[in-house]
Amino acid sequence: MKTTLDEIVSLCKRRGFAFPGSDIYGGFANSYTYGPYGTALKRNLKDLWWKLHVEQLDNIVGIDGDIILHPRTWEASGHTATFNDLLVDNKDSKKRYRADHLIEDQTGIDVEGMTPAEVTAVMAEHEIKCPVSGSTNWTEVRHFNMMFQTEMAKTGDGAMAYLRPETAQAIFLEYKNIIDTMRVTLPFGVGQIGKAFRNEITPGNFLFRRLEFEQMEIEYFVREDAWEEAFAQWQGRIKRWCEIIGLSNERLHWAEHADEKLSHYSKRTVDVEYEFPFGKKELYGLAYRTDYDLKQHAEHSGKKLIYRDPHTNEVLVPHVIEPSFGVDRSVLALLCDAYAEETLPDGSTRTVMRLAPVVAPVKVAVFPLMKKDGLPEKAHEVVAELRALGVVEYDQSGAIGKRYRRHDEIGTPVCVTVDYDTLEDGTVTVRDRDTMAQERIALGALREHLAGKYFVTPSL
Ligand code: ATP
């Protein structure tokens, strides 16, 4: 049976992955708080991404830039002028919509690239209706800039600033510093993980479209004639990344942007789409940004943003390939992919999160069979022994079957139970989440057994 978004949302709340944000005040603008397990899952993803893409690849370095950058950044990047959505208000319901989404939902027509006046005409021609009031009584369609503005205490140039709508720009601003301080030669990349903010008109679908979210991005600098090769290489790496974190290949699709849908800076963009419960939607993006950003910042700042070949002294402006990974959409895709409801041979059902061990919030759960006779003490020794594998959770409350079910729902790959035999012969029961098969393993061999079976470090 197909998983619904409601099932995911409810499990997230029930099991501490994500709570509706500011809930005690009635909730706020599609905000969510990652609970303890969601936070662990997200951190595992980000740490793994950094390890695989920044630490373990040649010629990639990392930076950590500010959320509030010089406002001229966004003039140079083109965001002030063009980072707009098409907004329309219904005069009867007073509801606000993205005109392109309304039209696409009701007619299938794609209005990307059209002017607000043209979109207004399409709305009228196709009698687009307000989903709430049912009326066609609309304002004119107009542009709405999606950058969040914020006011600084200081006055003058830069008093009005923006929260960054993408992490990429800080990398371009530091291009010269990287070239001057690091021994990088083309091709090389600069990676960054951080928050980005977008004033989305209609946020929604849980963690999918948020006002604040996290991105993991790399700006990969290449010679112009090498961009196609680098683009293909990054497609391969993205594919491998999806496999490592455990997304089903058959739910992933590559979608090429048509020329008229390309962003103002891009000559080629391919999205990785994932089959979410609410449809096939963008998960990640891979864009060829040309030399647009470096040239724009060079022009606006008056600084030279160039590359000098150390062997030939040739001077050039590098071109850029940008793989962009959304953290929150990764978390949502992982939860949707991992979620399963199963009927067991005895007729009962269980919910299980088949998360890849590398991202699972809890790596191993350890249970004493009973809360007495020295079993808790022995179980605590096992916890200490297994800590090197990552988060190990001790749980002694309730029937053993209930404890297994709880960890099935959290996605814990393996549970270890300490029982009376453990005290006699030094073995424990190891229970696999997916097969529910149980085996007895000697305590002396336990850590190595689990490390080899579940926790082998992947590489790109
Ligand atoms: P969409 O068309 O869905 O709005 P986009 O094309 O604007 O997305 P990009 O500008 O390519 O998105 O951003 C790069 C990545 O950042 C996306 O692939 C996605 O994972 C993530 N992302 C973008 N906007 C949001 C958002 N509002 N909430 C959560 N993640 C987002």
Nearest CA to ligand 1 atom 25: 209
Ligand 1, residues 199, 282, 324, 330: which to mutate, most atoms within 8 A of Cβ?
Answer: 282
What is the predicted pLDDT for the residue at 24? 95
Ligand 1 atom closest to 203 (CA): 27
What residues flank ligand 1, with Cβ below 6 Å?
A: 198, 200, 209-210, 213, 215, 282-285, 324, 326, 328-329
358 CA to centre of ligand 1 in angstroms: 24
Per-state percent for the chain, helix, strand, coil, to nearest 5:
35, 30, 35
212 CA to centre of ligand 1 in angstroms: 11
Burial (Cβ within 10 Å: 0-12, 13-18, ≥19) of residue 428: buried
Ligand 1 atom closest to 214 (CA): 30
Helix axes 443-454, 375-386, angle to 10 degrees: 40
* CA–CA separation, 304 and 245 (whole Å): 40
What is the predicted pLDDT for the residue at 158? 66
* Domains in the chain with CATH codes: 5-65+169-336 (3.30.930.10), 84-145 (3.30.40.230), 362-454 (3.40.50.800)
Nearest CA to ligand 1 atom 5: 282
436 CA to centre of ligand 1 in angstroms: 38
Ligand 1 atom closest to 327 (CA): 20
Ligand 1 atom closest to 200 (CA): 27
Sign of the C-alpha dihedral, residues 367, 371, 373, 374?
Answer: positive
269 CA to centre of ligand 1 in angstroms: 13
Ligand 1 atom closest to 326 (CA): 20
* CA–CA separation, 452 and 429 (whole Å): 17
Nearest CA to ligand 1 atom 3: 282
What is the predicted pLDDT for the residue at 397? 94
9 CA to centre of ligand 1 in angstroms: 20
Residue 393: which H helix or E strand, with range?
strand 392-394
Collect the ranges in the chain with pLDDT lower than 70: 1, 158
